[in-house]
Structures are given as C-alpha cells and as structure tokens.
Amino acid sequence: MNNRIRKTGIMTGGGDCPGINAVIRAVVRRARLDGVTVMGVKNGWLGLIENNLELLTRQTISGVLPRGGTIIGTSRTDPLSDPERLQMIRDTWNRNSLDALIVVGGEGTLTAASRMFREQGYPIVGVPKTIDNDLGGTDYTIGMDSAVSVVAEAIDRLHSTAESHHRVMVVEVMGRHSGWIATLGAIAGGSDVVLVPEAPFRLSEVCDVLTLRRNSGRLFSIIVVSEDARPHPDEDFLTQEQRQAIYHGERLGGIGPILAAKIEEVTGIDARATILGYMQRGGSPTAFDRILATRLGIKAFEMVLAEEFGRMAAIRGLNVTSVPLEEAVAQPRPVDPELIRVARVFEG
Ligand code: F6P
C-alpha cells in the first residue's frame, strides 16, 4: 500500500499494435487491488494537452483482451514541441490530480516520456510496445509477435500462388530501421531470401540465389524485404527520386515493388510484390503478446506503486524487470545477428 499514489494516468502513443488493450486491462485490474484510480489519457500526449481523459473502470476494460488497436486512442503528438503545450499539460495534470503516468509507447513516445521525466519532472513509467521490437533493454516489445504471425501467414499464402505461377514473390514488411519483423517472419514463413536494414544487399547476389534455385528445379521463390533494407552502395540500382521516396519521405516503404521489377529485368523470372503494410499492426494479439502485455502492465503499475519512475517495464529472458527509459530509447536495437544467421541457412 502506497498512500501517495491514489490516481494514475495511462496513455498510448505512436503506432498502434496488438496487445495495447491487454496492457490497459492489466493496469486497471491490478490498480483495483490497491484502490488506485486509473485515468485513460486519450490520443497520446494530445489528451494531456487538451485535457481529454476518461475514467477507466472494470466495465470499460471488459472484453478488451483480444481486441487490437487501443481503446484510448493514439497519436504521434510531441509534448515538448513548444512551451505553451508544456503549460497546458501541466494544467491538465494538476486539474486531474494525477500522481503518476504510465506511457505505453515505442521509440518516439518513450523518448518524449524520458524527456518529460528528466526535464519536466513528471513521475512516468514506460511500457514497451511496437511491432518493430527495436527498443533497448527488453528482449521483446508488445506487438512484435503478432506482426510476425501475420508475416508468416502471408508468406504461407504467397507460397501457394508463387508455386502455381512459378514466380518470385517479394514481400515488403515493416520494422523501421531494424530487421526483426523481416528476419523472424522469414524464419517462421520459410522464405528463400531475407533483406534487412542491418545488412545492405547486392542485387546480383539476390538474383544469383533466384537463378540457382530455378536451375535446380525450384521454380518459385519468396523474398522478404524490410521497408528500410537498402542496396549496397557498390550496386545501388535506385534512382535519386526512388531513394528519396522510399527512405526519406513522410514514411518508409516502397522498396518491394522496385526490387521485384529489377529482379524481373535481371533474371527474366516473373516477379510480383506485396506490401503487407498496416495488416501487420491490425487485429487480435497472439497469446504470446497477450501474456507479455499482461505481465508488463502489472509490472508497470507495481513500478508506479514503488515510485520507480523514469524506468520502463521490460522482459529479459523469462523475467519481468525494469530498465531506465533512457537506455530503452538510446538507439534502435538491431536484429540479433544470430537470427540473421539462422535465416540465411535457408537461403537458396
Ligand atoms: O513503428 C511502427 C510502424 O508500424 C513502423 O514499422 C512503420 O514504419 C511506421 O510505424 C508507420 O508509421 P505510421 O503509422 O505513422 O504510418
């Protein structure tokens, strides 16, 4: 029992993903045990700017465990962009008598959370959620497993059509600057080539793999390409405009169709591209994500009770723990090289 903590806010920011509602549910259910009120801050930091909060009760969270998205909404609003915003947030905080805030976010949201703790003194606890799995200090982020399951299922489906038409299928997946979704999706789906941001690829090598497969009687191939995978500078086949559009536009994406066209041009093999896009973020969380989200939600609330602020709930091995927010967002966590090696065993 901590008598100083009577009311906590919970906010979800950045891209949605499966499992966020399971975190909210866990926090509300755990908070009830200590008689702590939970306020849902609507639409990320925007809810604090606009004083848009709602009381989360047992009724509110009933039935949300399997639901995708976030019942309290999200946005990519930056709370620190101007002093006026900061003042509005301070007013909302005081008006609602918040004692703490649980921020469920990915790299952008938790970077802001870390700064709001360090520079503005807010008592904040983070929870890692992003399909990209690119946060430091935790083995897994909530949503990654669900996204990988979507990729694996998509590859299964693309296999049958690729095989029937003797085609190369290029599957473009999300993940920003880290190749977790691509690599794990490729392993789970059994793709023939995987291209990740961590290792620039040579078109000639990709085409050699495809030609070799064809010559040995494997008439179809599946390539998984990460949205931020880049051609090696030695063999850069992208035009300036294409490079700009794929990697430096408002959002990443578009390498898949260009790569498929290039492969067709070089090898003469029919190639098609599929961009999985937001399918990877939608829908129901896997059992793994529901369990992870539930454990991290409960841990986050207990960190609030223990006044362990400026830290993020995390999972290391089988254990739930906590790490400094600063460590979590220091830099994008690259995919484990061991996983790339595993995926490469199945190349060709
Ligand atoms: O960070 C999650 C993610 O889905 C990335 O994989 C992707 O690059 C990005 O968000 C898309 O952002 P938005 O939702 O703003 O289009």
The DSSP code sequence of 278-343 is: GGGT-SPPPHHHHHHHHHHHHHHHHHHHTT-TTEEEEEETTEEEEEEHHHHTSSPPPPPHHHHHHH
The helix/strand/coil state of 253 is: coil
Query: Residue 73 region, left (φ>0) first, then alpha (ψ -120 to 50), else beta?
Result: left
CB distance 106 to ligand 1 below 6 Å: yes
Among 110, 177, 251, say which to mutate for ligand 1: greatest number of ligand atoms within 8 Å of CB. Answer: 251
Name beta bridge partners: 105: 128
CB distance 174 to ligand 1 below 6 Å: yes
- pLDDT of 1 reads 66
Among 145, 186, 217, 236, smallest CA distance to 347 is for: 186
Q: How far apart are CA 106 and CA 144, in angstroms?
A: 11
CA distances from 57 to 99, 126, 254, 329 (A): 18, 21, 43, 31
CB distance 254 to ligand 1 below 6 Å: no
- What is the whole-number distance in angstroms between the Cα of residue 36 and the centre of ligand 1? 33
Annotated active-site residue 132? The verdict is yes
Averages of pLDDT over runs of 10 residues in the chain (348 residues) are: 90 98 98 98 98 97 98 97 97 98 98 98 98 98 98 97 97 98 98 98 98 96 98 97 96 97 97 98 98 98 98 98 98 97 95
Model confidence, pTM: 0.97
CB-based contact 132:176 (threshold 8 Å): yes
Residue nearest to atom 15 of ligand 1 (CA): 15
Residue nearest to atom 16 of ligand 1 (CA): 251
